[in-house]
Amino acid sequence: MKLPATWLAALVLTACLPLAAEEKWWPSKWGQTDRLGAFNYLSSEKTLAAAQLIKTGKSYALGIDSGPDTPAGADLTPRSFNLSVVQPGQLLGKTMGKNGFGFNDDIVYAWLGVGTQIDGLGHVGINNRYYNGVPAQAFIRYSGLTDFALHNAPPVATRGVLLDMARHKNKAYLKAGEVITVEDVKGAARAQGVTIGEGDIVLFNTGWMKAKLKSDPELFNHQEPGLGVAAAQYLIDKGVVAIGADTFGLEASPGEDPDIVFPVHQLMLVKHGVYVLENIRTEELAADRAWEFLLVIGIPKYVGAVQAIINPIAIL
């Protein structure tokens, strides 16, 4: 039976729909087998160059405290952090040896997405595919990730750049849902006299943490100003290793489109392998107008970990 041409065209179009609907963002620029993403930009040469920025030796701890009262994860997960101190084998004051040796240990019951953290490439997916198109079933295990686990991350020591958006917009803090645009990024960098290049880590000071973390933790944990999709792409195109901010989730919430959930995370982690840094304490850097510095991040070697609690150190 000969079908009308319009029917044939419709059948061909229908057959193509599943392929057209699944956007393909892989392989990455480092090849199909790459599992490090933007960590590939790191090098000894970039570390040496960043070390030249040290003039005073002043150090800044960029991590916040992780504890039972630390805001964590909004409504996505029941994240928590609890620590218990124990004295093994020392019940009723028992000690060891003639010298009365005693000691304390601690046990942590915690989610690794509490406090200042880095999101690994196994954290976020698009339709159950992750960085480099790897399907979820290929690497996610209850006992830990078999790919993208952060215990495989290299040491990070590279140039950090702070963009003070609160200062640039002449306000104490950006409001919830306020989106950082490409023009905002360019304008702040220009005003501060800094450039952004390959291998850098960019941090944003929005003033949100200083204004809301202690005074209104409920609001801090559910809404925030943050990076827009276009601005994220602009920084990705510059070759940055990671982007972070003084907020719980880096990107604006409510977002630019209420029907799209965490698109900046998907763009950075899934499509480009660029890491996300959250709850970065930028207040002191901003107060000192410390726009560029050596940034050092040691990532815990928890085998199979998706995320990690970190305390980045900026050195001027």
State pLDDT tens for residues 175-210.
Answer: 999 999 999 999 999 999 999 999 999 999 999 999
> Which of 70-79, 94-103, 199-208, 226-235 is least confident?
70-79
> Which of 8-17, 153-162, 245-254 is least confident?
8-17
Top-confidence residue, 38 or 18 = 38
pLDDT band, residue 6 (cuts 50/70/90): very low
Tokens of 229: 């999709």
Q: Provide the mean pLDDT of the chain.
A: 92
Cα–Cα distance for residue pair 28/30, rounded to 1 Å: 5
Residue 50: strand, helix, or coil = helix
DSSP H helical segments within the chain, as ranges?
A: 5-21, 44-51, 165-168, 182-192, 208-212, 217-220, 229-238, 263-265, 272, 283-287
pLDDT at 73: 64
- What are the pLDDT digits (tens) for 143-163? 999 999 999 999 999 999 999
pLDDT at 181: 99
- In the predicted structure, residue 117 carries a pLDDT above the cut 90: yes
- In the predicted structure, residue 15 carries a pLDDT above the cut 70: no
Cα–Cα distance for residue pair 147/160, rounded to 1 Å: 27
Beta-carbon contacts of 12 under 8 Å, excluding residues fewer than 6 positions away, are: none
User: Domain segments of the chain: what residues?
Assistant: 21-65+113-315
- In the predicted structure, residue 262 carries a pLDDT above the cut 80: yes
Q: What percent of the chain has pLDDT over 90?
A: 85
Q: ∠ CA 24-27-33 to the nearest 5 degrees?
A: 140
pLDDT at 12: 37
Top-confidence residue, 78 or 275 = 275
Backbone angles phi, psi at 242, to 5 degrees: -155, 160
pLDDT at 22: 63
- In the predicted structure, residue 14 carries a pLDDT above the cut 90: no
pLDDT band, residue 106 (cuts 50/70/90): very high
| Burial track 9-37 (b if 16+ CB lie within 10 A, e otherwise) | eeeeeeeeeeeeeeeeeeebebeeebbbb
Q: Domain spanning 21-65+113-315: which superfamily?
A: Putative cyclase (3.50.30.50)
Side chain identity at 205, as an amino acid letter?
Answer: N
